[in-house]
Structure 1
Amino acid sequence: MRILQTITHTNDHVSGLLLRLTLGIVILPHGLQLLLGWFGGYGFNGSMQYFTGVAGLPWLVAFTVIMLQSVGAVLLLTGTGTRLMAIAYVIMFIGMIVTAHSDYGFFMNWDGNQKGEGYEYHLLVIGLALLLVINGAGKFSFDYFASKSRVQQPVQNIKL
Structure 2
Amino acid sequence: MDYTNLNNVALINIGLLIIRLVIGVTFIGHGSQKLFGWFGGYGPVGFSQWLESLGMGFHGKFWSIAAGLFEFVGGLLFALGFLTGVGAGLIIIVMLDAILIVHRKKGYWIDNGGWEYNFVLMAVVLSVSLIGPGSYVLFNL
Same fold (TM over 0.5): yes
Distance of 1:84 and 1:71 partners within structure 2: 9
Query: Deviations for 1:43-70, whole angstroms, at most 9, x for unmatched residues?
Result: 122223333x223074544322111222
1:1-160 equivalences in 2 (<5 Å): 13-51=13-51, 53-55=52-54, 56=56, 58=59, 60-109=62-111, 117-142=113-138, 145=140
Moved over 6 A (4+): none
Letter in 2 for 1:22: V
By relative contact order (CA 8 Å, sep 6+), the higher-ranking structure is 1
Query: Structure 2: 5+ residue runs without aligned partners?
Result: 1-11
Distance of 1:60 and 1:74 partners within structure 2: 21
Distance of 1:91 and 1:33 partners within structure 2: 18
Q: Matched residue pairs, number?
A: 127
Query: Structure 1: 5+ residue runs without aligned partners?
Result: 1-11, 147-160
Please report the TM-score for the alignment, with normalisation by the length of structure 1: 0.67
Q: Displacement of 1:19 after TM fit?
A: 2.1
Contact residue 76 and residue 87 of structure 2 kept, 8 A: no
Letter in 1 for 2:126: L
Distance of 1:119 and 1:37 partners within structure 2: 24
Please report the TM-score for the alignment, with normalisation by the length of structure 2: 0.74
Contact residue 88 and residue 125 of structure 2 kept, 8 A: yes
Normalized per residue, the structure richer in helix is 2
Q: Displacement of 1:91 after TM fit?
A: 2.5
